[in-house]
Structure 1
Amino acid sequence: MTEAAARRAPGTPCWVSLMVHDMAATQEFYGALFGWEFRPGPQQLGPYARALLDGREVAGIGELPPDRHLPIAWTPYLASDDVDGTAASVRQCGGTVGVGPLDAGEAGRMAIGSDPSGAVFGIWQAAEHLGMTVTGVPGAVAWNELVTRDTSSVSKFYQSVFGYTEEAVVSADFDCLTLLVEGRPVASVQGVGHALPRHRGSHWMTYFEVSNVDEAVERVADLGGHTVTAARNGSLGRVARVADPEGAEFALVTSPPS
């Protein structure tokens, strides 16, 4: 599904960003994997570039200061009409705000927070930069999922802060919720119990669409990344979890024909 850039309703995932130590090598990896090209800016937060797919913005990659040893992870940004108000709600509802709110030049205003389980997400109030201009095509974001111990422990937080409604996935085997904005599914929450990786804890997982998951997994290895979870068929399509050379994990998905 493609979409024109438009101001998104609060709570809608509107951007994904990755902060790394070696920006040039990371751009080379994702450029070769997804066919991305890069355009510098905004620079207010240090070296940063927007990834373009056929000229349309799909993601951002920035460089961490050498003395910052943060986990390397893709971070989804959730839309807000008032970042300062949303950040206050995050704190009131048991989360934390680690960065901001602050202005990103003329692009917009942002903050980075975490929910009570520790999963990190961004908050974006758009000005000139509205976010992703295409989704759901090979090389672009297809979906975002919160992986946590159990859905009940964090679902109320996201409902309160972003106004989501929820739809339970009815299954005896899975603890899964779909988050809805204005009746539209925008993300999911997956409770995995003791299968939650100890080294990561609760985290958001970004899914990127590819035309063939199995071929893309091989390509990841050729480019210096590795497989975290082998390709399998699931509710979203055929999915594999992989990591880039700096260890940032993400999912590859080939969605079923609509």
Structure 2
Amino acid sequence: MAAESEGTPCWADGTFGDLEGAKRFYGELLGWTYGESMPEYGDYTQAHVDGNAVAALSPPMPGQETPPAWTLYLASPDAAATTGKIRKHGGEVLVEPMRVGDFGTMVLAADPGGTPFGVWQAGTHEGFQATGAPGAYSWAEVYTRDPARADAFFAAVFGYGVKHLDDDAVDFALYDLGADPVLGRMKMGEEFPPQVPAHMNVYFAVADCDAAVEKARSLGAELTFGPMTIPFGRFASLTDPQGAVFSLFDPTTTEGEMPGVTDAS
């Protein structure tokens, strides 16, 4: 498998104070099995579906009081150069380029509106070994209260084309790399309480959204939106038992016509 093109979502990991609790929750919900924890990398633990790496879980870094959350990583051929572009265009670098053994180089950053994300320059670890299949990463969206700055920032740093959905009811954009969209952007309106920060909403694929939601709730998750069917599929947003935001997505259940888009690049 070749390393992904710059700006392509290539990996996701979750940071949890209760690592074993997170492993149980996502294992039961998404059918994940786990590799050996790597104590030399803070007990970082890869999750697998049918033998393919789909995500990872870890406790917070020593000395950090970070709340439980998922981080999406965007591919870069040169993490140091991408870090420079992040700063140039108004983003914040939270963790400078850091070599992770032979696996690759990581950066943690936030866009000008505070949406955190990661950058990954692949070494031996090139990223997702499966996407779109039940239990694997499916999609992600930037949730922000400053959509104009987000659109400008991500386009400048990663070269995305930006297309706005032709829908007066929602301020939503699609980021692409010349073909199919790779990432979405949603404006957070008044329906989001002020205490909800800007975030990257990571979606995991499931075979049946409603059944998966009921399973998640039985395991202690809280449903925050949906399930709802749109032309792209049926989805629901939740917080897991430790408070991390994530979404479930069934791409096989669709309803309505695909909306038009306006090129804003």
TM-score of the two chains, using structure 2 as the length reference = 0.91
1:188 is matched with which residue?
Answer: 184
Question: CA separation in 1, counterparts of 2:134 and 2:28?
Answer: 13
1:6 is matched with which residue?
Answer: 2
Q: Deviating runs (4+, > 4 A) in structure 1? A: 41-44
Give per-residue Cα distances to partners, 1:119-147, cap 9 Å, x unaligned.
00000000100000111111011101111
Quick one: which amino acid aligns to residue 107 of structure 1? F
Report matched runs for 1:104-143 at 5 Å.
Answer: 104-143=100-139
Question: CA separation in 2, counterparts of 1:196 and 1:153?
Answer: 19
1:62 is matched with which residue?
Answer: 58
2:11 is matched with which residue?
Answer: 15
Question: CA separation in 2, counterparts of 1:158 and 1:64?
Answer: 27
Question: CA separation in 2, counterparts of 1:62 and 1:141?
Answer: 17
2:140 equivalent to 1:151: no
Quick one: which amino acid aligns to residue 154 of structure 2? Y
Worse-matched range after superposition: 52-61 or 194-203: 194-203
2:230 equivalent to 1:228: no
* Displacement of 1:20: 0.7
Question: CA separation in 2, counterparts of 1:42 and 1:121?
Answer: 23
Aligned length: 254
2:209 equivalent to 1:213: yes
2:260 is matched with which residue?
Answer: none
* Displacement of 1:41: 5.3
- CA distance 1:66–1:199, change in 2 (3 Å): farther
Matched residue SS, 1:161: helix
Q: Runs of 5+ in structure 2 lacking a partner?
A: 255-265
Measured on the aligned residues, the alpha-carbon RMSD in Å equals 1.6
Worse-matched range after superposition: 83-92 or 39-48: 39-48
- CA distance 1:131–1:42, change in 2 (3 Å): farther
Matched residue SS, 1:40: coil
1:71 is matched with which residue?
Answer: 67
Matched residue SS, 1:193: coil
Aligned mate of 1:203, from 194, 199, 202: 199
Question: CA separation in 1, counterparts of 2:9 and 2:125?
Answer: 14
Partners of 1:150 and 1:190 within 8 A in 2: no
Partners of 1:236 and 1:253 within 8 A in 2: no
* Displacement of 1:109: 0.3
Question: CA separation in 2, counterparts of 1:167 and 1:175?
Answer: 11
Partners of 2:113 and 2:146 within 8 A in 1: no
Question: CA separation in 1, counterparts of 2:39 and 2:91?
Answer: 28
- CA distance 1:41–1:128, change in 2 (3 Å): farther
Question: CA separation in 2, counterparts of 1:225 and 1:257?
Answer: 23
Worse-matched range after superposition: 34-43 or 67-76: 34-43
Question: CA separation in 2, counterparts of 1:85 and 1:67?
Answer: 28
Matched residue SS, 1:196: coil
Quick one: which amino acid aligns to residue 89 of structure 2? C
Matched residue SS, 1:220: helix
* Displacement of 1:230: 3.0
TM-score of the two chains, using structure 1 as the length reference = 0.93
Question: CA separation in 2, counterparts of 1:192 and 1:135?
Answer: 27
Matched residue SS, 1:154: helix
Give per-residue Cα distances to partners, 1:194-241, cap 9 Å, x unaligned.
333422221110011111111111111211222122311124311111
Q: Runs of 5+ in structure 1 lacking a partner?
A: none
Aligned mate of 1:237, from 233, 236, 241: 233
Partners of 1:196 and 1:202 within 8 A in 2: no
Question: CA separation in 2, counterparts of 1:182 and 1:45?
Answer: 36
